[in-house]
Amino acid sequence: MLWRNFLQRDRVDEEWREEMEAHLQMLIDSFLEHGLTPDEARHAALKRAGNLTTRREEIYRMNGIQWVDSISGDIRYAARGLRKNLSFTAVAVLTLGLGIGANTAVFSVVNSVLLKPLAFPRSEELVDLAQVAPGAGGILSSRGLGLSPSMYFTYTEQNSSFQSMGVWTSSYVTVTGLTEPEQVFANWISDGLLQALAAQPEIGRLLAPADQVPGSNESVLLTYGYWQRRFGGDRSVIGRKIFVDARPREIVGVMPAGFRIADTPADLILPLRLDRSHAILAGFYLRAIGRVKPGVSVEQANADIARLIPIWMRSWPSIEGGHTGDALAEKVYRSWRIGPNVRPLRENVVGNVRSVLWVVMGTLGMVMLIACANVANLLMVRVDARQSELAVRAALGAGWGRIVRQLLIESMLLGAVGGTLGLAIAYGGLRLLVRNGPSNLPRLSEIGLDSHALVFTSVVTLLSALFFGLIPALRYAGPHVSLALRDGSRTTSPGRSRHRARNTLVIVQVSLALVLLISAGLMIRTFQAMRSVSMGFEQPAALETFRAVIPRELVPNEEQATRMEQAIAEKVAALPGVTAVGFSNALPMDGAPPMWDGILTEGQSYAHDRPPMRLYLNVSPGLFSSLGSKIKAGRDLTWTDIYGDRKFVLVSENLARELWGSADAAIGKRVRSTEIGAWREVVGVVEDVRHSGAQEPAPAVVYWPIFGQIPWAPVTAATRSVVFSVRTDRAGTSALLNELRRAVWSVNAQLAVANPETMRETVDRSMARTSFTLVMLAIAGAMALVLGFVGIYGVIAYAVSQRTREIGIRIALGAEPRDVRKVFVRQGLGLCGIGIVIGLAAAALLTRVMKSLLFGVPPVDPVTFAAVPVTLLLATLAACYLPARRASAVDPADCMRAE
């Protein structure tokens, strides 16, 4: 087989033609030499050569491949057909393009987020080393129980299943010594972490074990983004010093682009410098990553850690300077029931978006089905119109396989064009998503079209083309084609059986659309419920928040640090338009690491059980009035209380109710946080605040003074990282932001303003998952509604056009236009009704899957389940009414004349 012969067949044929021509000329020449006249010579030569055209055709066929030839013929024929019927083609291609585009886009997201391995070498060996502790109550974060430094030492030294492991934590730090002071996000890492991730520096070196030794020279790694932003990618930064929290640190290396630990983007990477000699059992603030040895399974790693937990409990003191094997501490930690929860790192990174993404993927799959049903419907209408053409072809001897092939090729061609359009749509959509997507969608930056997505698109396109192509093909090209010659005659209304397939498709469409619209409706209701929940603070849009940190290196004295924070608050309060200012270690939903501990009430014995964990927050006077949280009983703290070290505390209303029955009853009661701590008097009760987001119930909170003796140890300390809450109508403006910066610098030029944000933005961010799901489902629902509308319209319009003569006769016989309209509207509503019934049943089952995404609405929400079918019925009514009106306007005379 010579490819040239096949691929450039026309050129090759041309060569043969030339050659044969030359041959003929030579023959003529030779005959002329023999003395024949030119005419005779030509004659003789032609006779001698034989039928050269037939020979050429023979060669042409020889060089071709039979089936490719006939298929390419079919494709050309199909393309011509599609070009001729532009409106049909446009609708079909657009429908498919939207469907395929949406699916490709979402698949790319699912693929990048859920399926693709993490961007670390041999990332399947990486595990997230988390722990569960069902008895530990509120101390747990969504990730379970973190590691304490002592756990890190025990695990890293005594495990038998990890090649290397390390821990890290994150915090804001202030960088000075460059331009203006800046707050940046830093990851503090222990030795072993970068080794586990198998990271390589872009330039310079990584952190070495020596960097982790307390007291040695301080070093810092830059991430690629920070290096580019602050140093313009200058390679000579290695060895330069920057001040991090007022302490000089030498830049030893830069990490490569895209490097991040788990999914925590950071600007700086700093050595954690855990100090063995100060390690105690507690302090579960570290996250850990390990790389298992080859062949070690997750279960083995879990078993290994489970073995080490009791060893850890006996190896460390419970308070600094205490002795190991503290029986009381061991009792406490045993009651926590700490267990290992080693999981592949990827699962941890992906976290809770898994369910969202699968729901979205499922919905868009349904949209694709609806789109396919629609195109199948359109194709059927089209094939219907070509009944006689097909019948004639069959009569001329085309086997039905051949006709099915022709029809399938047509739908494949449609699919291919639609798929191409879909790719373009997906590409655009993804660019949009990456730019505007929810920032808490993990691995957002990795999302893009790749070869997997392309394969997916091709498969979807092929399958859907098969699906929507086979339905009409099998219906019309079946063995009964010959019937069509009879049935297709123009004087009878078509038989009922011809409509069955199309009606089924419409019913499927309606029921799928209903399911999608109900899902979207549930999300809208969830969103409403979340927006209308009383958060415990007022007008979040008029509340500006920002964080500031006062490093110990800058202000060693604890009270001085607090007085500096108070000074900032007073400066800010003096700004124009600011009505109230307060600060705390954490504001609702700001993601600051929470602190949990038990609370002991006076007169209660805790010999047998530990008190449940409560959220502890350090608050300044005036915080609640700036937030707009009401004091339900008693009073707020004052600065005199705080600097006078008066043992006061505030509690949340739900805690007061739980412990003493009512808010008023709480005033004057005494509590303490540990058996050895001093008693503190409850002076005020604050309205419940939803600290963990609208979806979570308000936690029971103990509001501790911002400065004074800390809850768990007899130590007086300031809260050095505080977030300010500023009540002002100018929240969110850059003018206010500049004034805030100046106010902070006027107190101390070394301080930076971090994370300025209005409370509205904070709340919206905490609802990003819901709003993302909502937007995706709303898009899918809208597409389904439009497609369903087009589907019903198409079916009714077609029925009308097929029955024009019948209608003409009816009208001629005296039927009212109203009656005629009724016939078609009733047909449409009937189909829609069946679809709705099926859809409702399916939705009742399917919405259970969404349960974890819903808030404040049951999966079978009566409002949604009533409103959506009504909407669909109205849409159907509109879709039927348009063609029905056309039907009733039929002029009987015209239609008779047309015969």
Partner 1 sequence: MMILRTLNQGPMHGYAIAKRIQDWSKGELEIEDGSLYPALNRMLTKGWLKAEWGETQNNRKARFYQLTPTGKKQLEAESTAFNKMIRAIQLVMRTS
DSSP letter (8 states) at residue 144? B
For partner 1, the closer of residues 25 and 297 by Cβ is 25
How far apart, in whole angstroms, are the C-alpha atoms of residue 691 and residue 590?
9
Centroid of chain to Cα 396: 56
58 CB contacts (<8 Å, ≥6 apart)?
A: none
Provide, rounded to whole angstroms, the least separation between the CB of residue 60 and partner 1. Answer: 9
Closer by beta carbon to partner 1, 50 or else 397: 50
Least spacing, CB of residue 28 vs partner 1, in Å: 11
Nearer to partner 1, 10 or 157 (CB): 10
Cα–Cα distance for residue pair 310/437, rounded to 1 Å: 44
Is the Cβ of residue 30 or residue 804 nearer to partner 1 in the bound state?
A: 30
Closer residue to partner 1 in complex, CB, 66/491: 66
Nearest distance, CB of residue 52 and partner 1, angstroms? 5
Query: Smallest distance from the beta carbon of 66 to partner 1, in angstroms?
Result: 15
Q: 450 vs 107, 159, 372, 431, CA distance in Å? A: 11, 39, 25, 13
Cα distances (Å, whole numbers) of residue 607 to 325, 510, 545, 721, 725: 20, 64, 42, 36, 40
Judged by CB, which is closer to partner 1: 48, or 331?
48
Token pair recorded at residue 93:
């291609």
Pairing of strands 595-598, 648-652: unpaired
Find the shortest distance in angstroms from Cβ 54 to partner 1: 8
Nearest residue (CB) to partner 1, 49 versus 809: 49
As a whole number of angstroms, the distance between CA 621 and CA 643 comes to 12
- Kindly state the smallest distance separating residue 8's Cβ from partner 1, in Å: 14
Greatest alpha-carbon span in the chain: 140
Distance CA 489, CA 875 (A): 34
- Crossing angle of helices 451-476 and 353-385, rounded to 10°: 40
> How many angstroms separate the CA atoms of 28 and 33, rounded?
9
Distance CA 516, CA 504 (A): 18
- What residue ranges bind partner 1 (CB under 8 A)? 1-2, 5, 15-16, 18-20, 22-23, 25-27, 29-30, 48-52, 54-56, 58-59, 62-63
Least distance between partner 1 and beta carbon 57 (Å): 10
Q: What is the DSSP string of 700-735?
A: PEEEEESEEE-TTSS-EEE--EEEEEEEETTTT-HH
Closer by beta carbon to partner 1, 4 or else 278: 4
CB-nearer residue toward partner 1: 15 or 602: 15
| Whole-angstrom Cα Rg for the chain | 38
Looking at beta carbons only, is 55 or 235 nearer to partner 1? 55
Nearest approach, Cβ of 42 to partner 1 (angstroms)? 14
Q: Which helix (H) or strand (E) holds 500?
A: helix 497-532
What single-letter DSSP state applies at residue 849? Answer: G
Which is closer to partner 1, CB of 4 or CB of 826? 4
d(CA 197, CA 530): 39
Length of the chain: 899
* Token duo for residue 385: 């119109």
**Whole-number minimum distance, CB 94 to partner 1, in Å?**
45
> Taking a C-beta distance cutoff of 8 angstroms, is the pair 519, 363 a contact?
yes
**Smallest separation, CB 48 to partner 1 (Å):** 6
CB of 55 to partner 1, least distance (A): 4
